[in-house]
Chain A
Amino acid sequence: MPIATLRRLILIGLFLVIGAVLAIVSPTFLKLDNLMTLLQEASQTGIVAIGFTLVLITAGIDMSIGAVIAVTAMVCVNFLSYTHIPAWIFIPLSLGTGCLVGLFNGYFITRFKLPEFIVTLASRGILAGVALLIAVKDADGFISNVYIQDPVYLGFGGTVGPVYIVTIAFVVLAFITQFSLKRTRVGTNIYATGANPTAARLSGINTKHSIYFVYMFSGFCASLAAIFLSARMMTAMPEFGIGSEMDVIAAVVIGGTPFTGGVGDIWGTVIGTLFLALIKNGILKLGISPYIQPIAIGGIIVVVVVIDVWYKAFAEKLAKKAGNRRKRSDEAEEAVAS
């Protein structure tokens, strides 16, 4: 069985077990409201995680996603407070914020061959400052958090039936991205760039384009998440999203996309995201101290990675044994023949 399938089965199994325990212990867990809130929160992280997965497939990392959320939210409230541009125009414009940041990251990574971590960590710092700088201020110069009342904007935090729009967006984005990864040239190039950049370049793939693309897409996803987050909270704060990188990384890694590049897909990330949201909700529901939450998430990452390594070694051992056996029987046949 391939490791990815095994991991998914284990995760889904654990998911069901934890879900069942919660359903028994907490009478409110299976209520529609609770499940929808759980999905809403998962989708919020999930949208960012989809973009992050692509970066990880190219063996890169994007530390700037949290700060992109903050800056995009600030851009939106500036539009709301100082202009009369309607929301359906400025929201697509603000999604460009993330793409611009991605362009910046991609430029420094490809042009100057800088390590991805350093570049995106630097842009994280810069953006966190920019968010404070461009935040809407009151008459005395203090940052005031705008109370959003624009109906179009708030619509993003709304629901269709019982399902939150952010959840629908997450599902649609997951389908489109998964399809593009597996069935289009762009997707194949991303895998090739991550698996072996030199080989990819020699076979005529423009790896720079792939790198630009994944960072811009990652920025776009973070910006999109910022719109949903601020619509849900009906406000935007300059510290929005900062620190949320860790949740995103955890979701993607639990979902089975390794840091080594060339491997991974969106379904893994979707499962990882749902799993993470379930753990968080469960800790709340069981009344366990929230300090346990990061410990639990860290623990799960360790367990998942250990199973990975262990299963890989186990599979290799099996393959080696089978190879030896074949070799021995071949030798025996040769001996008989001579």
Chain B
Amino acid sequence: MSKNKVLAIIGAIALLLPSANLAAQSTWKIGYLPSTVGQALTKAWGVGIDNALKAAGNTPLQSLDAMMKAETQVSMMDDFINQGYDLIILQPIDAAALTASVKKAEAKGIPVITLNTDTLAPHFACVSMDDYGAGSKVAEIMGKEIGGKGFVAIIQSPPGAMAGVEREKGFRATMAKMYPNIKIVAAQNAEWNKDKAVAIMNSFLQANKQLDGVFAVNDNMAEGAAIAAEAAGRLKDVKIWGFNGQMSTLVQIEQGKVTGTAYTNAFEQGAIAARLALDVLRAGTKTFAKTQVVTIPPFMATIDNVSQITPNIRW
């Protein structure tokens, strides 16, 4: 009799299983793998993605921290793939280095959405800020601010970091084209860091008696540059531009320390990625011939218009 009971239980479980599977179909396991989780930008993306997923009734996001190392990110991609995630949202630390991982994931039927840095292989989608375009816009505005003539410097990102390099390229190209009388006197890598940017800005200020503008390819470094310029008493002579538009920098723009930044609504960017994710998972498409690129236009925030960025969209 006990044998019958066991059989009955097994039968009941077997009956229940398919329905449990059906119930699980409407929710998906989505992995989020930014370059590092500690930054304002990657946090804001995470919040944006998570809110959109929750609104659609999906389970929250699982995220891992690659701590800015491409090798670590590749092994974390492997882990997401092995754990059978349904979709991965990835901010590649390096375009070339993550290409193999993206290919591997999509070969196993896991669509990949990249944020800000596209990879070299076609994949489902890339939701990106307009790095080159915004960099060139910064040059356009800064050139006008300093009267089309003078000396500027660039605080760079680490070598090989595509997003930073694209911003710098856009900046340089437009400066050369529109303002031939503005000279770029120095460019150094501050590794996205505020404290490194302070040191580099100090050396810029010492080496150049006249410095009219500084373009830091992210906001942290712009804040660092402002600290150094203020300490040297030259804050009002130097136009300092950042990139991204994080909350602390917007405050500094209001205080007149940082001149401006190329703001992107990171919450919205995350939400767009989440919507794309849910769409493709519902449709069940697994192969993609061409990457769908969504570019979010930047908003050039200065002291005059920064109030348009309301508190609820500050990150």
Chain A residues with a Cβ under 8 A of chain B: 26, 28, 31, 33-34, 37, 41, 132, 135, 140, 142-147, 157, 229, 232-235, 237-240, 243-244, 281, 284-285, 287, 289-291
Q: Which residue of B lies closest to A32 (CB)?
A: B82
In the complex, chain B residues 91-105 whose Cβ is within 8 Å of any chain A Cβ: 94-97, 99-100
List, in ascending order, chain A residues with CB within 8 A of B74's CB: 232-233
19 A-B pairs whose Cβ atoms sit less than 8 Å apart in the complex: A28-B83, A41-B75, A132-B159, A142-B159, A145-B95, A147-B120, A157-B100, A232-B100, A233-B71, A235-B99, A237-B97, A237-B160, A240-B71, A243-B69, A244-B71, A281-B79, A284-B64, A284-B79, A290-B65
A145 and B97 in contact, given A28-B82, A31-B82 (Cβ under 8 angstroms): yes
A143 and B82 in contact, given A233-B97, A235-B94, A235-B97 (Cβ under 8 angstroms): no
Q: Is there an interface contact between B83 and A142, defined as CB atoms closer than 8 Å? A: no
Q: A233 CA to B65 CA in the complex, in Å?
A: 18
A interface footprint on B54-75 (CB within 8 Å = 1, 0 otherwise): 0000000010110101111011
Is B84 engaged at the interface, CB distance under 8 Å to the other chain? yes
Q: How many A-B residue pairs have CB under 8 A?
A: 81
Interface residues contributed by chain B, number (CB under 8 Å): 31
In the complex, chain B residues 137-153 whose Cβ is within 8 Å of any chain A Cβ: none
Q: Which residue of A lies closest to B66 (CB)?
A: A290
Q: A237 CA to B160 CA in the complex, in Å?
A: 8
The 9 closest A-B CB pairs, nearest first, are A235-B96, A143-B159, A234-B100, A145-B96, A34-B82, A147-B96, A28-B83, A37-B78, A235-B97
List, in ascending order, chain A residues with CB within 8 A of B99's CB: 147, 234-235
Q: Is there an interface contact between A37 and B169, defined as CB atoms closer than 8 Å? A: no
Is B293 engaged at the interface, CB distance under 8 Å to the other chain? no
List, in ascending order, chain B residues with CB within 8 A of A142's CB: 159, 165, 168-169
Q: Is there an interface contact between B71 and A146, defined as CB atoms closer than 8 Å? A: no
Q: A143 CA to B78 CA in the complex, in Å?
A: 26
Tell me the smallest distance from the CB of A311 to a CB of chain B, in Å: 34
In the complex, chain B residues 159-189 whose Cβ is within 8 Å of any chain A Cβ: 159-160, 165, 168-169, 172
Q: Is there an interface contact between B82 and A145, defined as CB atoms closer than 8 Å? A: no
Q: Is there an interface contact between A234 and B71, defined as CB atoms closer than 8 Å? A: no
In the complex, chain B residues 31-77 whose Cβ is within 8 Å of any chain A Cβ: 62, 64-65, 67, 69-72, 74-76
List, in ascending order, chain B residues with CB within 8 A of A281's CB: 79
Tell me the smallest distance from the CB of B164 to a CB of chain A, in Å: 10
List, in ascending order, chain A residues with CB within 8 A of B65's CB: 289-291
Besides A232-B74, A233-B100, A234-B97, 9 other A-B contacts (C-beta < 8 A): A28-B83, A37-B78, A37-B82, A41-B75, A147-B120, A233-B70, A233-B96, A235-B94, A281-B79
Q: Is there an interface contact between A290 and B70, defined as CB atoms closer than 8 Å? A: no
Q: A41 CA to B76 CA in the complex, in Å?
A: 11
Q: Is there an interface contact between A146 and B96, defined as CB atoms closer than 8 Å? A: yes
List, in ascending order, chain A residues with CB within 8 A of B165's CB: 142
Q: Is there an interface contact between A144 and B160, defined as CB atoms closer than 8 Å? A: yes
Q: Which residue of A lies closest to B101 (CB)?
A: A233
Tell me the smallest distance from the CB of B123 to a CB of chain A, in Å: 14
Q: Is there an interface contact between B160 and A145, defined as CB atoms closer than 8 Å? A: yes
Q: A235 CA to B74 CA in the complex, in Å?
A: 12
A interface footprint on B172-208 (CB within 8 Å = 1, 0 otherwise): 1000000000000000000000000000000000000
Q: Is there an interface contact between A284 and B76, defined as CB atoms closer than 8 Å? A: yes
Q: Is there an interface contact between A33 and B82, defined as CB atoms closer than 8 Å? A: yes
A238 and B64 in contact, given A31-B82, A37-B75, A233-B71 (Cβ under 8 angstroms): no
Q: A144 CA to B166 CA in the complex, in Å?
A: 12
Q: A147 CA to B64 CA in the complex, in Å?
A: 25
Q: Is there an interface contact between A234 and B82, defined as CB atoms closer than 8 Å? A: no
Q: Is there an interface contact between A237 and B70, defined as CB atoms closer than 8 Å? A: yes
List, in ascending order, chain B residues with CB within 8 A of A229's CB: 71
List, in ascending order, chain B residues with CB within 8 A of A37's CB: 75, 78-79, 82
Q: Which residue of B lies closest to A154 (CB)?
A: B100
Q: A338 CA to B65 CA in the complex, in Å?
A: 79
